[in-house]
Amino acid sequence: MSVVSHLINGELVESKRTLDVTNPSTGKVIRQVADADTADVELAISAAQAAFPAWRDTPPAKRAQVMYRFKQLLEEHADRLVQLVSEEHGKTPEDAMGELKRGIENVEYACGVPELLKGEYSHNVGPGIDAWSNFQPLGVVAGITPFNFPAMVPLWMYPMAIACGNTFILKPSEKDPSASMAVAELLQEAGLPKGVMNVIHGGREAVETLLDAKAVKAISFVGSTPVAEAIYSRGSAAGKRVQALGGAKNHAVVLPDADLENAANTLMGAAYGSCGERCMAISVAVCVGDETANRLVETMLPKIAQLKVGPGTDKGLDMGPLVTAEHRNKVLGFIEEGVNAGATLVADGRSLKVAGHEEGYFVGGCLFDNVTAEMRIYQEEIFGPVLCIVRVGSLDDAMQLINDHEYGNGTCLFTRDGEAARRFTDAIEVGMVGVNVPLPVPVAYHSFGGWKRSLFGDLHAYGPDSVRFYTRRKAVSQRWPSVSEATTAEFSFPANQS
């Protein structure tokens, strides 16, 4: 059986230990992946450290040239990358292609790094003194990524980190490592010097070695909230710069004046696309008024019944399986609990069977009505094809509900009322907001990040914030006195005012 190896110092490196990688559409182990121990991670850190001085001194325009070639290679190899994503994650090829394209946007943004690294300059800040600030790389930085976007989320991180002059160590999800690895190998092929980009596979031991290593200056993490919080605390305590993006419970508010057909159609994709395994998936529809809720349920039920579910590698489907048996069981447990708590399960996808794929981890689309804020299915991230409807009396009630929730990643308002939309976008305590746009994922030249317990740290992912995250500012003041200029010792603090 083939093994996905580490990529260290430009070479494929085997590991003493391995983990199984499963195709979730069949439930079969299809390959293995290296499972790094501390020694493997230390090897990667040494390679990244050794590569840093020369890469730091490489002109940004030359670093950008590698990114241009990388973008071209990603486009040339798109079909193979999509196939790897679908095979190990289970999302449909069309969905995987969407993720890859959004990832490539980040490489395009990194191609502009010479412009993005331009500093600030002030002439004559004091007599004969000029001052400027510029942005310098940090050194070795690391990224730890989740299973649900194996191509895109790593591309949120390392194109910009590397374009800024850092060297990088990626620890992708052990559940679907092949696409993350294949993408990184293309960057190597694009002409990157050895050791600038490294990939180590594995789990907790690998991550903790990165967190504790003195040589690693910054950590970008994307994953679930409990792990994000632990990584933020441990990494910060070790003196690192850390951004840790966590889980979510994203609400869509439907006002009585909304175009219901449009809301229902777009909610279908936002709730059930990728089997609900997106951190920006809409998992709660907050309906203002019983009539709005009744109409939304009526409009969505036939659409849910028609969802095309099957193996992730097939084209023309709406949804594949969940990622692992363990995760499928967790999602089924939530559904059971929702029923026991008194929510009305108006669409029940639990008994769905996909012919020829009886061992796959499939769950059909589920819709709960009459969900309340006390229920666990409302409070926690289910990360499956389960949409909860909560009925409220007003927009204010809807906003209060959202603002009281522990997560604040994404949200959306469906309405035709501009005044309501303005109030919502202004006062809602969520990092990414849509108006009639249920998946308001910012494009690569903006930044991505939630509020509250959806993000630990200050700077958001990718876009302009990533240039700041992966660099530190240096302020320089410079004076070149002429040889004939007399200087005297000055003991008071220098100031321009007389």
| 164 belongs to the catalytic site | no
> CB-wise, 250 or 415, nearer to ligand NAD?
250
Residue 45, Ramachandran bin (φ over 0: left; ψ between -120 and 50: alpha; else beta): alpha
Q: Out of 174, 318, 369, 465, which residue is the one contacting ligand NAD (CB under 6 A)?
A: 174
- Look up residue 335 and give its two tokens: 């559904």
Does 465 bind ligand NAD (CB under 6 A)? Our answer is: no
> CB-wise, 148 or 188, nearer to ligand NAD?
148
Judge whether 102 and 441 are in contact, CB under 8 Å: yes
Does 18 bind ligand NAD (CB under 6 A)? Our answer is: no
Does 227 bind ligand NAD (CB under 6 A)? Our answer is: yes
**DSSP per-residue letters across 430-475:** -SEEEES-S--PPPTTS-B--EETTEESSS-BSHHHHHHHTEEEEE
> Could you give phi then psi for residue 90, rounded to 5 degrees?
105, -5
Q: Out of 44, 179, 244, 248, which residue is the one contacting ligand NAD (CB under 6 A)?
A: 248
Does 246 bind ligand NAD (CB under 6 A)? Our answer is: yes
Task: Point out which span in 102-110, 111-119, 139-147, 295-303 binds ligand NAD (CB under 6 A).
Answer: 139-147
> CB-wise, 165 or 384, nearer to ligand NAD?
384
> CB-wise, 227 or 309, nearer to ligand NAD?
227
Distances from the Cα of 360 to the Cα of 22, 152, 348, 462, angstroms: 10, 24, 18, 34
The residue among 297, 309, 389 whose CA lies nearest residue 349 is 309
Task: Point out which span in 78-86, 130-138, 217-225, 414-422 binds ligand NAD (CB under 6 A).
Answer: 217-225
Q: Tell me the β-bridge partners of 411.
A: 251, 433
> Could you give phi then psi for residue 263, rounded to 5 degrees?
-60, -45
Q: Out of 62, 118, 204, 422, which residue is the one contacting ligand NAD (CB under 6 A)?
A: 204
Binding mask 386-415 for ligand NAD (x = CB under 6 A): -----------------------x------
Q: What is the 3-state secondary structure (H, E, C) of 107-136?
A: HHHHCCHHHHCCCEEEEEEECCEEEEEEEE
Least distance (Å) from ligand NAD to the CB of residue 63? 26
Does 40 bind ligand NAD (CB under 6 A)? Our answer is: no
Least distance (Å) from ligand NAD to the CB of residue 90? 13
The residue among 429, 427, 439 whose CA lies nearest residue 405 is 429
Dihedral sign, CA of 369, 373, 376, 377? positive
Does 247 bind ligand NAD (CB under 6 A)? Our answer is: yes
Does 224 bind ligand NAD (CB under 6 A)? Our answer is: yes
What is the rounded distance in angstroms from the CA atom of residue 389 to the CA atom of residue 80? 39
Judge whether 172 and 143 are in contact, CB under 8 Å: no
Task: Point out which span in 16-24, 68-76, 122-130, 202-210 binds ligand NAD (CB under 6 A).
Answer: 202-210
Task: Point out which span in 36-44, 128-136, 147-155, 414-422 binds ligand NAD (CB under 6 A).
Answer: 147-155
Q: Out of 171, 240, 241, 460, which residue is the one contacting ligand NAD (CB under 6 A)?
A: 171
Residue 8 amino acid letter = I
Does 383 bind ligand NAD (CB under 6 A)? Our answer is: yes
Least distance (Å) from ligand NAD to the CB of residue 375? 19
Instruction: Tell me which residue has its CB nearest to ligand NAD.
Output: 223
Q: Out of 147, 414, 424, 469, which residue is the one contacting ligand NAD (CB under 6 A)?
A: 147
Q: Out of 25, 106, 145, 447, which residue is the one contacting ligand NAD (CB under 6 A)?
A: 145
Write down the catalytic residue from 111, 164, 275, 279.
279
Judge whether 412 and 252 are in contact, CB under 8 Å: yes
> Could you give phi then psi for residue 339, rounded to 5 degrees?
-65, -45
Residue 160's H or E segment, with its range, is helix 152-163
Judge whether 145 and 172 are in contact, CB under 8 Å: yes
Distances from the Cα of 413 to the Cα of 110, 370, 399, 404, angstroms: 32, 19, 10, 17
Q: Out of 165, 195, 223, 408, which residue is the one contacting ligand NAD (CB under 6 A)?
A: 223
Does 222 bind ligand NAD (CB under 6 A)? Our answer is: yes
Q: Which residues bind ligand NAD (CB under 6 A)?
A: 144-149, 153, 171, 173-174, 203-204, 207, 222-224, 227, 245-248, 279, 381, 383, 409, 450, 454
Which residues are the active-site residues?
A: 279
